[in-house]
C-alpha cells in the first residue's frame, strides 16, 4: 500500500495528485493487481479533503480501466500496464527537485549539505 500525500503548493488539483500517485505506485511496483485501495470515505478523511475529490480520482481511473470498484467490496487495482514516459518522469523529478531545493536554499543549506543528507537517507533505506 502506498501512503498518499497531497501538496497544496504543487499547483495541480488534489484529485490529479491522487491519480498520479496511484499511477506512479503501479508503475514502480508498489501497487499490485488485485490490491485494495482505501475506500473513498477513508481516503478523504485521511487526506482531509472532500469526498468528491477522491471519488473523482477513482472514477477517472476506473474509466481508464486502472481501477475496478466492486459494489460492497471495495476498489481494487485492475491493471499494471502503466507506462510513464521518460519525459514525464524527468519532468516530475525536476519539479520535485526544484521545490525541494528552493525550500532548502531558503533555509541557507548548500547543495553539498543537501547531497550529503540525501546520501545518508539512501544508506539508511538500504
Q: pLDDT digits over 73-112, tens only?
A: 999 999 767 778 889 999 989 988 998 999 999 999 999 9
**Lowest model confidence (mean pLDDT) among 51-55, 80-84, 86-90, 120-124:** 80-84
The residue with greater pLDDT, 85 or 62, is: 62
- Whether residue 60 is found in the same domain as residue 99: no
Question: Do 70 and 116 fall within a single domain?
Answer: no
Is 60 among the domain residues? yes
Question: Residues 19, 55: one domain?
Answer: yes
Q: Which domain holds residue 94?
A: 86-125
State how many domains the chain has: 2
104 and 72 both lie in a single domain: no
Domain membership of residue 2 (yes or no) is no
pLDDT at 84: 86
Are 68 and 25 within one domain? yes
**Chain segment 13-37, per-residue pLDDT in tens:** 999 999 999 999 998 889 999 999 9
**Inter-residue long-range contacts of 51-59, CB under 8 Å, 24+ positions, other chains counted:** 53/13, 53/14, 53/15, 53/18, 54/15, 54/18, 56/15, 57/15, 57/16, 57/18, 57/19, 57/22
pLDDT at 16: 97
The pLDDT score that the predictor gives to residue 80 is 67
Amino acid at each position: 500500500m502506498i501512503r498518499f500525500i497531497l501538496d497544496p503548493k504543487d499547483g495541480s488539483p488534489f484529485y490529479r495528485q491522487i491519480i498520479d500517485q496511484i499511477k506512479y505506485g503501479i508503475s514502480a511496483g508498489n501497487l499490485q493487481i488485485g490490491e485494495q485501495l482505501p475506500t473513498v470515505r477513508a481516503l478523504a478523511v485521511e487526506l482531509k479533503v472532500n469526498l468528491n475529490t477522491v471519488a473523482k480520482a477513482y472514477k477517472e481511473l476506473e474509466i481508464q480501466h486502472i481501477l475496478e470498484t466492486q459494489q460492497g467490496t471495495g476498489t481494487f487495482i485492475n491493471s499494471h500496464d502503466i507506462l510513464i514516459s521518460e519525459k514525464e518522469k524527468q519532468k516530475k523529478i525536476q519539479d520535485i527537485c526544484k521545490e525541494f531545493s528552493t525550500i532548502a536554499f531558503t533555509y541557507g543549506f548548500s547543495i553539498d549539505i543537501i547531497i550529503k543528507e540525501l546520501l545518508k537517507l539512501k544508506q539508511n533505506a538500504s
